[in-house]
Structure 1
Amino acid sequence: MGVLERLDELYAIGGGRGANRPYGSPEEDAAHALVADWMREAGLEVEVDAHGNLFGRTSVRGDVWVGSHLDSVPQGGRFDGPLGVVGGLEAVERTGRGSVVAFRGEEVGCIGSRALCAGADTLPAAFLELHIEQGPVLERAGAPLGVVTAIVGYARGELVFEGRAGHAGTTPMAGRDDALVAAADAILRIRDAAGRIEGGVATVGQLAVEPGGSNVIPERVRISVDARAPDARRLDELTEAIGFEPMHRTLPAAMGEEPRRILLDEIESRDLPAIELPSGAGHDAGILAAAGVPSAMLFVRSLNGGVSHSPDELSSEEDIELAVDVLASALRRVAAR
Structure 2
Amino acid sequence: MRLEQLYAIGGGPGANRPHGSAEEDAAHALASRWMDEAGLAVEVDQSGNLLGRSPVGADVWVGSHLDTVPRGGRFDGALGVVAGLEAVERAGCGTVVVFRGEEVGCIGSRALVARGGPLPRAFLELHIEQGPVLERTGAPLGVVTSIVGYARGELFFEGRAGHAGTTPMDGRDDALVAAAEAILRIRAAVRRIEGGVATVGQLAVEPGGSNVIPERVRISVDARAPDAKRLDRLIEAIGFEPVHRTLPAAMGEGPRRVLLEEVESRGLPAIELPSGAGHDAGILAAAGVPSAMLFVRSLNGGISHNPEELSSEEDIALAVEVLGAAIGRLAPA
Q: 1:61 to 1:240 in 2, by over 3 A?
A: farther
User: How does 1:2-41 map onto structure 2 within 5 Å?
Assistant: 5-41=1-37
| Correspondence for 2:95 | 99
The aligned residue for residue 242 of structure 1 is: 238
Aligned pair 1:80/2:76, yes or no? yes
Deviations 1:243-296 (A, max 9, x none): 000010000000000100110000100111000000000000000000000000
Shift of 1:151: 0.3
Does 1:157 find its partner at 2:153? yes
Q: Which runs of 4+ in 1 moved over 2 A?
A: 59-62
Residues 56 and 331 of structure 2 are in contact (CA less than 8 Å); yes or no, is this contact kept in structure 1?
Answer: no
- Per the TM alignment, residue 60 of structure 1 is displaced from its structure 2 partner at its CA by 7.7
Whether contact under 8 Å (1:62, 1:123) holds in the other structure is no
Aligned with 2:248 (options 245, 252, 256): 252
Name which of 263, 277, 288 aligns with 1:281.
Answer: 277
Letter in 2 for 1:297: M
Equivalent pairs counted in the alignment come to 333
For residue 64 of structure 2, what is the amino acid of its counterpart?
S
Contact 2:141 2:319 in 1 (8 A): yes
Cα displacement (A) at 1:16: 1.9
The 3-state SS of whatever aligns with 2:188 is: helix
Q: Which moved more, 1:119-128 or 1:76-85?
A: 119-128
Q: Distance in 2 between matches of 1:283 and 1:222?
A: 27
- Taking a change above 3 Å as real, the CA distance of residues 21 and 126 of structure 1, as seen in their structure-2 partners, is same
Alpha-carbon distance in structure 1 between the residues aligned to 2:277 and 2:145: 13
Match of 1:206 in 2: 202
Deviation, 1:336, is 3.7
Q: Which residue of 2 aligns with 1:70?
A: 66
Q: Is the 8 A contact 1:61 1:124 kept in 2?
A: no
Whether the aligned pair in 2 keeps the contact of 1:68 and 1:130 (CA below 8 Å) is: yes
1:301 aligns with 2:315: no
Show CA shifts across 1:188-222 (max 9, x none). Answer: 01111111100000000000010111111100000
Query: What corresponds to 1:124 in structure 2?
Result: 120
* Residues 167 and 216 in structure 1, CA contact (< 8 A), matched pair in contact too: yes
> Contact 2:58–2:94 at 8 Å: present in 1 too?
no
Deviation string, structure 1 residues 160-198 (Cα, Å, up to 9, x no partner)? 000001111111111111101100010001111111100
Which runs of 5 or more structure 2 residues have no equivalent in the other structure?
none
Query: Aligned partner of 1:82: which letter?
Result: A
1:23 alignment partner, SS class: coil
Distance 2:287 2:136 in 1: 33
Identity of counterpart residues, as a percentage?
82
Question: Which of 271, 280, 284 matches 2:267?
Answer: 271
Amino acid of the residue matched to residue 330 of structure 1? Answer: A
CA distance in 2: counterparts of 1:43 and 1:98, whole angstroms: 12
TM-score, L = length of structure 1? 0.97
Cα drift, residue 120 of structure 1? 3.0
Q: Distance in 2 between matches of 1:307 and 1:204?
A: 18
Q: Distance in 2 between matches of 1:154 and 1:99?
A: 29
Pick aligned residue for 2:221 from 213, 221, 225 = 225
1:82 CA displacement: 0.8
- Structure 1 unaligned spans of 5+: none
* Counterpart Cα distance in 2 of 1:175 and 1:133: 49
Report the CA distance shift for 1:144/1:61 in structure 2 as closer, same or farther (over 3 A): closer
